[in-house]
């Protein structure tokens, strides 16, 4: 049986900040949810089910937060599911919500993801050392920095490419009223002058720690048809997983990501992603992951992603604008970061991206990855029905 | 914030196990609704919020459980009420409201329609019954925290002779500012067990040996051994002694200090691929300037004095350059 057509009816997000001490966890979530309901022009009785995602519970110290969030999520009397795939969770949560519509089970599903990082310290939470181990772990940056070094060595990329990404994404973030970091005056030179944190990753090439949430309302074909100005239609979705470590694993260009992208393009009927996709929101928490994922996703041949970045093709106005919203480098409420990528892709094809709208965007990619580059989630949305 | 210490196994074959304690003082921003509640507690007042159906919820809920609407109409309720149900807690744990045995009770305060979960300090279970009347015992110096309500006591109990325990600390705030954040300490105490294969590897480390396992299908050598090959999904049983020399495949220089860090930055965290192994593990590289560490650098283990060895990879303090020529990139490119 064919999947039911599925559309994004509306999106919402919080103003992301280092500390949103003005709101509780439920209050933070509702800021995004209320905006999504308004954007979708629906009310609580229209929502059939709720799908929630967030990253590890250690970040807020609340086990199974979906229990105490049920009333804030309007889930009374409705199915409430929680999804967990580390940093990619915002993406996989949206995809789980989408399957409920694709399967014909529900007409409208609210999907939500959040993180309130200020309630603890993610670097601490990601560096907890079990007994018998060597205490060399240093958070996500410490995990990914050696693999970034491997990419630079393997591709022969000039060392300033990371700074190009960082300067671009932060300047894009300055166009986004919801972004945590808004730095219109940042330059490649100022990024290169910033402190080296996890050599080869500098301070300005690193995502911030943010409090924030993102929400979307997904709907079936009839609901999508009713969206004024047009919904964002799902053309294809893909998720793939692989173990964190095994002998011979390609940590720079993981197989699971390549497989997910190949399935996505196949299902969407895309043969040349670089020509056929108008804009991409890619999960780039450290600057170098832009060229790495350009290759992993098939936008560039292996070893040549950095050339696309260096040529300026990923900037606003370029051939494939990447992260016009400012991306993870501008806002990183971890659990929500993936859903932000998915919702920003939807906003582009709905023509609702404001000052960072890519002219004429008809087809957009939303992408997320998580764990030790082991969970991948992505969707391709379009202004037209597939 | 975490501590590890090995325990002697009961038999040589028993898997190794050690305690792991994880704790953090989480900071909860209370937001406008719970903020009203805790700041009223500071004034020895208890507030509820009126729901869409007219019921008064205590403690206040931010969103109506039926309609999901934001709730904003606060209602003062009494600090006396009725026990709707209860359960005797004969062995209180650290951090619970009362140190002697007490009852956990659902208490409907006068003026409220929902029950508040709190402790009733009644002395003995025979003093407890459903329907009994209780009143709040307040902290001597309320700070704006649910623990300003020290406990509830039977309504007819005589006044407490002892001073009430102090309320827990709240987060720093400006003079005269309302409480916006409360501190919630959370601690997990875990007994962490190594697998049988990892235990054999750790016991070999205690003898100064590096023990791996070879997959019978792909022939790859894993250290630490896992008991199964993650690629082929078959058990691994053949053990392989590995030398304490190898190469750095890739690395980073950690310059950033963070909470719980156990090595002073800057330090080089490197993937070390032992000669004969097919997977690298993270370790420290010292013995040269950080900027001289290279991909392909030949290194050897530097062991602690033998009398300090135990069942941990920390028996190797770090790896240092051997002075041999670097391994060519092509020889380890497939390990990146």
Contacts of B270 in chain A (CB under 8 A): 146
What is the rounded distance in angstroms from the CA atom of residue A285 to the CA atom of residue A326?
Answer: 11
* Residue B335 Cα, gap to closest chain A Cα (Å): 6
| pTM of the predicted protein model | 0.94
On whether any CB of chain B is under 8 Å from the CB of A194, the answer is no
Contacts of B27 in chain A (CB under 8 A): 118-120
In a domain, A94, yes or no: yes
What is the rounded distance in angstroms from the CA atom of residue A329 to the CA atom of residue A181?
Answer: 8
Q: Per DSSP, what are the bridge partners of residue B17? A: B193
On whether any CB of chain B is under 8 Å from the CB of A271, the answer is no
- Secondary structure string (H, E, C) spanning chain B: CCCCCCCCCCCCCCCCEEEEEEEEEEEEECHHHHHHHHHHHCCCCEEEEECCCCCEECCCCCECCCCCCECCCEEEECCEEEEEEEEEECCCCCCCCCCCCEEEEEEEECCCCCCEEEEECCCCHHHCCCCCEEEEEECCCCCCCHHHEEEEEECCCCCCCCCCCCCCCECCCCCCCCCCEEEEEEEEEEEEECCHHHHHHHHHHCCCCEEEEECCCCCCEECCCCCECCCCCCECCEEEEECCEEEEEEEEEECCCCCCCCCCCCEEEEEEEECCCCCCEEEEECCCCHHHCCCCCEEEEEECCHHHCCCCHHHEEEEEECCCCCCCHHHHHHHC
Here the CATH number for the domain that contains residue A93 is 3.40.47.10
In a domain, A204, yes or no: no
Cβ pair A123:B16 closer than 8 A: no
What is the rounded distance in angstroms from the CA atom of residue B141 to the CA atom of residue B43?
Answer: 10
Cβ pair B27:A142 closer than 8 A: no
On whether any CB of chain A is under 8 Å from the CB of B8, the answer is no
Q: Which two tokens stand for residue B199?
A: 């235990």
In a domain, A381, yes or no: no
In a domain, A321, yes or no: no
Candidate from B16, B34, B222 with C-beta closest to A132: B16
Residue of B nearest to A63 (CA): B186
pLDDT at B4: 42
Please give the mean pLDDT across all residues of chain B: 92
Residue of A nearest to B27 (CA): A119
Contacts of A121 in chain B (CB under 8 A): 24, 258-259
What is the rounded distance in angstroms from the CA atom of residue A146 to the CA atom of residue B269?
Answer: 8
Cβ pair A44:B333 closer than 8 A: no
pLDDT at A272: 98
Cβ(B229)–Cβ(B220) below 8 Å: yes
What is the rounded distance in angstroms from the CA atom of residue B271 to the CA atom of residue B281?
Answer: 5
B53-88 residue pLDDT tens = 999 999 999 999 999 999 999 999 999 999 999 999
Residues 6+ apart with CB under 8 A from A254: A242, A296, A373, A374, A376
Residue of A nearest to B65 (CA): A71
Q: Per DSSP, what are the bridge partners of residue B302? A: B318
* Residue A118 Cα, gap to closest chain B Cα (Å): 7
Residue A317 DSSP SS3:
coil
pLDDT at B12: 60
On whether any CB of chain A is under 8 Å from the CB of B258, the answer is yes
Cβ(A161)–Cβ(B47) below 8 Å: no
Residue A13 DSSP SS3:
strand
pLDDT at A121: 86
Candidate from A132, A154, A250 with C-beta closest to B202: A132
Candidate from A23, A135, A154 with C-beta closest to B31: A23
In a domain, A146, yes or no: no
Cβ pair A134:B281 closer than 8 A: yes
Which whole-number Å values give the CA distances from B250 to A153, A247, B269, in the listed order?
A: 10, 15, 9
Kindly list the domain boundaries of chain B, sorted by start residue. Answer: 22-187, 194-335
For residue B15, give the nearest of B189, B205, B192, B212 by alpha carbon: B192
pLDDT at A134: 81
What is the rounded distance in angstroms from the CA atom of residue A330 to the CA atom of residue A337?
Answer: 10
Cβ(B85)–Cβ(B130) below 8 Å: yes
Q: Which of A247, A250, A256, A373 best tests the B interface by mutation, with the highest count of B CBs <10 A?
A: A247
Cβ(A381)–Cβ(A98) below 8 Å: no
Q: Which two tokens stand for residue B87?
A: 């359960």
Helices (DSSP H) in A16-125: which residue ranges? 25-40, 66-69, 89-102, 122-125
Estimate the crossing angle of helix B31-41 against helix A25-40, to 10 degrees. 150
pLDDT at B161: 64
What is the rounded distance in angstroms from the CA atom of residue B264 to the CA atom of residue B256?
Answer: 9
Which whole-number Å values give the CA distances from B203 to A68, B6, B315, in the listed order?
A: 45, 11, 11
pLDDT < 50 regions, chain B: 1-10
Q: What's chain B's Rg over C-alpha atoms?
A: 30
Count chain A–chain B contacts defined by CB atoms under 8 A. 203
For residue B112, give the nearest of B77, B149, B65 by alpha carbon: B77
In a domain, A375, yes or no: no
Candidate from B61, B218, B252 with C-beta closest to A146: B252
pLDDT at B137: 94
pLDDT at A1: 54
Candidate from A124, A127, A131 with C-beta closest to B24: A124
In a domain, A274, yes or no: no
Number of domains in chain A: 1
Q: Which domain holds residue A115?
A: 7-122+209-225
Q: What is the pLDDT along chain A (386 residues), one digit of tens a residue?
A: 579 999 999 999 999 999 999 999 999 999 999 999 999 999 999 999 999 999 988 899 999 999 999 999 999 999 999 999 999 999 999 999 999 999 999 999 999 999 999 999 888 888 888 888 887 877 788 889 999 999 999 999 999 999 999 999 999 999 999 999 999 999 999 999 999 999 999 999 999 999 999 999 999 999 999 999 999 999 999 999 999 999 999 999 999 999 999 999 999 999 999 999 999 999 999 999 999 999 999 999 999 999 999 999 999 999 999 999 999 999 999 999 999 999 999 999 999 999 999 999 999 999 999 999 999 999 999 999 99
Cβ pair B6:A61 closer than 8 A: no
Contacts of B180 in chain A (CB under 8 A): 21-22
Q: Per DSSP, what are the bridge partners of residue A113? A: A53, A214
Candidate from A124, A130, A133 with C-beta closest to B258: A124
* C-beta pairs of B228-233 under 8 Å, 24+ apart in sequence: B230/A243, B230/A245, B230/A246, B231/A246, B231/A247, B231/A248
What distance separates the 2 farthest-apart alpha carbons in chain B? 86
In a domain, A176, yes or no: no
pLDDT at B3: 39
């Amino acid at each position: 049986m064919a999947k039911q057509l599925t559309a994004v009816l509306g999106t919402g997000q919080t103003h992301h900040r280092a500390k949103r001490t003005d709101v509780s966890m439920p209050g933070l979530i509702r800021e995004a949810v209320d905006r999504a309901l308004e954007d979708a022009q629906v009310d609580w009785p229209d929502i059939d089910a709720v799908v929630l995602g967030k990253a590890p519970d250690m970040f807020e110290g609340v086990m199974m937060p979906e229990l105490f969030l049920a009333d804030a999520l309007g889930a009374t009397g409705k199915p409430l599911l929680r999804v967990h795939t580390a940093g990619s969770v915002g993406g996989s949560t949206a995809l789980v919500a989408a399957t409920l519509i694709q399967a014909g089970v529900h007409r409208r599903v609210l999907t939500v993801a959040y993180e309130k990082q200020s309630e603890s310290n993610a670097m601490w939470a990601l560096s907890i050392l079990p007994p018998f181990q060597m205490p060399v772990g240093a958070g996500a940056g410490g995990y990914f920095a050696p693999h970034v070094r491997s990419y630079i060595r393997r591709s022969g990329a000039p060392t300033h490419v990371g700074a190009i990404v960082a300067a671009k994404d932060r300047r894009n973030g300055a166009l986004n009223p919801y972004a945590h970091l808004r730095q219109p005056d940042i330059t490649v030179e100022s990024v290169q002058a910033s402190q080296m944190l996890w050599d080869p990753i500098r301070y300005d090439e690193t995502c911030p720690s943010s409090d924030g949430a993102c929400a979307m309302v997904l709907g079936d074909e009839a609901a999508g048809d009713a969206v004024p100005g047009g919904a964002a239609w799902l053309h294809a979705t893909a998720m793939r997983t692989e173990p964190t470590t095994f002998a011979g694993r390609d940590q720079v260009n993981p197989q699971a990501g390549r497989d997910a992208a190949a399935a996505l393009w196949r299902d969407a009927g895309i043969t040349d992603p670089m020509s056929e996709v108008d804009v991409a929101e890619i999960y780039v928490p450290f600057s170098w992951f832009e060229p790495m994922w350009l290759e992993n996703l098939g936008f560039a041949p292996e070893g040549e992603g950095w050339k696309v970045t260096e040529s300026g093709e990923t900037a606003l106005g370029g051939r494939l604008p990447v992260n016009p919203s400012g991306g993870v480098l501008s806002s990183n409420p971890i659990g929500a970061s993936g859903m932000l990528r998915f919702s920003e892709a939807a906003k582009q094809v709905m023509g609702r991206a404001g000052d960072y709208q890519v002219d004429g965007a008809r087809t957009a990619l939303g992408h997320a990855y998580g764990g030790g580059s082991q969970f991948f989630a992505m969707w391709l949305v379009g202004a037209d029905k597939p | 914030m975490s501590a590890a210490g090995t325990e002697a196994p009961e038999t040589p074959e028993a898997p190794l196990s050690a305690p792991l304690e994880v704790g953090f003082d989480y900071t909860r921003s209370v937001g406008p609704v719970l903020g009203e509640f805790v700041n009223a507690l500071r004034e020895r007042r208890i507030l509820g919020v009126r729901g869409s159906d007219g019921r008064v919820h205590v403690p206040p809920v931010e969103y109506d459980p039926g309609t999901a609407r934001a709730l904003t109409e606060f209602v003062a309720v009494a600090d006396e009420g009725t026990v709707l149900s209860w359960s005797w807690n004969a062995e209180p744990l650290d951090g619970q409201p009362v140190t002697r045995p007490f009852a956990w009770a659902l208490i409907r305060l006068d003026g409220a329609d929902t029950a508040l979960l709190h402790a009733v300090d009644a002395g003995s279970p025979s003093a407890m019954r459903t329907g009994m009347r209780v009143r709040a015992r307040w902290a001597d110096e309320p700070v704006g925290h649910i623990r300003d309500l020290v406990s509830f006591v039977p309504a007819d109990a005589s006044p407490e002779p002892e001073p009430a325990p102090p309320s827990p600390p709240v987060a720093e705030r400006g003079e005269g500012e309302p409480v916006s954040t409360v501190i919630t300490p959370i601690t997990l105490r875990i007994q962490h067990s190594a697998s049988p294969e990892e235990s054999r590897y750790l016991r070999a480390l205690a003898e100064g040996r590096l023990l791996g396992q070879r997959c019978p299908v792909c022939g790859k050598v894993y250290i630490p051994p896992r008991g199964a090959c993650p690629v082929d999904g078959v058990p691994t049983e053949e053990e392989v002694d590995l030398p304490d020399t190898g190469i750095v495949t890739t690395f980073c220089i950690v310059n950033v200090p963070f909470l719980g860090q156990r090595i002073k930055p800057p330090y080089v965290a490197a993937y070390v691929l032992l000669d004969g192994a097919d997977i690298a593990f993270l370790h420290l590289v010292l013995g040269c300037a950080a900027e001289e560490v290279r991909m392909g650098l030949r290194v050897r283990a530097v062991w602690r004095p033998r009398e300090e060895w135990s069942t941990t990879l920390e028996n190797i303090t770090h790896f240092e350059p051997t002075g041999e020529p670097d391994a060519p990139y092509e020889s380890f490119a497939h390990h990146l």
